[in-house]
Amino acid sequence: MAMSKGNPLRVLHDGTTSGGQLTRREMVQRLLAGMSAAGAWPLVGTSHPIRKLLRNDAVLEEAENLGAADWKPVFLNAEQDESLIALAESIVPGSTKAQVNRFIDLLLSVDNSENQNRFVVSLTALSAEAQRRFGKNFPSLDDNQKNLLLTDASARPVNSNSSDSRTAGKQFALQEHFENLKGWVSGAYYSSEAGMRELGWTGDYVFETFPGCEHPNQHR
């Protein structure tokens, strides 16, 4: 994920940070402060459900348990979680280490059924496209196949034939499915400490304007 350089930053507070690891809630507070200063967050659409969920303090407190060795998904099943891990890493490299899949699963577990269903439909549509084009699940694709599929999905709408899309009551173009998933992945990753630091946060600053974000394979 290549980030543009040279964007101005605004001082959040005087003095130095304690040097301790920040909680997810503290990271999100800094992200929201940057959103307030910049007036927008270009990485996630204004109507995307993750924006509201990132303001849920109770969920953010629960996020501190996501690193547990015995963690299991609450909302997603094992196959969906595996697909999400692979997709997230392809959309925003570093997502696996940042445990993006675990945070998204937590957020989905408290979201409404409409957003939950839409997420599953989008995930299923990308998985179905991988099967249609390559005869394999997305996690089993090689890097070139993943990049080709996501580049096409991000560039033009392709209607999905997934039966799960029909059960949700609405057919989404493949591009819309991709944009939905990208919003979840981007919001989860860039609200983590790793994501904030990639954007240029150093501990003493929030963003006056947000840096640009462009995937090296144009998945943006």
* pLDDT tens digits, one per residue of 195-216: 877 877 666 554 544 444 444 4
Find the angle CA(102)-CA(57)-CA(214) to the nearest 5 degrees. Answer: 55
DSSP 21: P
Tell me, rounded to whole angstroms, the distance of Cα 120 from its chain centroid.
Answer: 14
Question: 16: helix, coil or strand?
Answer: coil
Distance of CA 3 to the CA centre of its chain: 16
pLDDT digits (tens, 9 = 90+) for 147-199: 999 998 887 544 445 554 443 333 347 889 999 999 999 999 988 888 877 87
Average pLDDT over residues 21-36: 64
pLDDT, tens digit, for every residue of 4-23?
333 433 333 333 334 456 67
Q: Percentage helix, strand, coil, to 5, in the chain? A: 55, 5, 40
**pTM flag (> 0.85):** no
The tokens for 172 are 């989404």
> pLDDT at position 106, please?
94
What pLDDT is stored for residue 156 in this prediction?
59
- Listing DSSP states for 101-147 in one string gives HHHHHHHHHHS-HHHHHHHHHHHHHHHHHHHHHHSS-GGGS-HHHHH
Q: What is the pLDDT of residues 70-118, one digit of tens each?
A: 999 999 999 999 999 999 999 999 999 999 999 999 999 999 999 999 9
- Pairing between β-strand 9-11 and β-strand 205-207 as defined by DSSP bridges: antiparallel
Distance in angstroms (rounded) separating the CA atoms of residues 3 and 194? 13
Q: Would you state the pLDDT for residue 46?
A: 78
Query: The tokens of 190 are what?
Result: 């860039």
At 69, list the tokens: 């060795």
Q: What is the CA radius of gyration of the chain?
A: 17
Residue 51 scores a pLDDT above 70:
yes
Which residues, 6+ apart, have CB-to-CB distance to 47 below 8 Å? none
Task: Say which residues have a Cβ less than 8 Å from residue 136's Cβ, sequence separation at least 6.
Answer: 130, 145
Ordered alpha helix ranges (H), the chain: 24-38, 50-53, 57-62, 78-91, 100-110, 113-134, 143-155, 163-167, 174-190, 193-199
Instruction: Give SS3 for 207.
Output: strand
Q: Is 181 helix (H, G, I), strand (E, B) or coil?
A: helix
